[in-house]
Structure 1
Amino acid sequence: MLKEVVRIGIDNHYINISPVEIEQFLLTHPSIAEVAVVGVNNKSGTHWPRAYVILKPGVTGITAEGIEKFVFDTLAYTKRLKGGVVFVDRIQRTAIGKVDRKYYRNLVKDEV
């Protein structure tokens, strides 16, 4: 079974991180209802984590920068959302309810 990972490059070393771990942490934020994390290409040929976020109904005043800081303050350097945060109305899912990472990879494949 293929596990989804985001490949991060640091000082000529590569590590794989689980997007699910970042998603689970983001879901502890009181304003986040749903989230999908995928890797976005960067100039070094690896990836930066990006979060696609749905806010809970009625939540206002939450910014992408605020969510990035929430991660920055707690998670390891490799798990910071250097690929950014994108607010969406819906998280794409597979027929069995998992985050459709293929959809998101296709969405960002041409970004550098």
Structure 2
Amino acid sequence: MILDAAAGIGCPVIASITGCDYAVLVTEPTISGISDLRRILEIVNHFEVPYGIILNKWDINPETAEKIEKWSGDRFLGRISYDREVVNSIVNLRPVIVSKSKVKGEIKEIFEKIRESI
């Protein structure tokens, strides 16, 4: 089962992680993204939940993205580029994976890495 938890580290997130077999942590290469990632890692590590890290919109700040990727080490699952087509898919209630978005391939690669990790 895949559960999409709320962003942040509040009670709903903690409840989602409790009893979880694997956590996929999605962050962006921004100051707030790094801060939130550090905080959620404290919770994930506290509950001893294995995890992987995905960089969303990595290309808005490639230097910071590279630092996060290196810091993540073997927990790094992949990068998802910024693409306006994602917004169009959301607005039109159409899954990104069936759109013409360039991120479609990136998401498929990440999905395969997650399948291998669990």
Same fold (TM over 0.5): no
Structure with the bigger percentage of helix: 2
Normalising by structure 2, report the TM-score.
0.31
- The higher radius of gyration belongs to 2
Normalising by structure 1, report the TM-score.
0.32
Question: Which of 1 and 2 has higher RCO (CA within 8 Å, sep 6+)?
Answer: 1
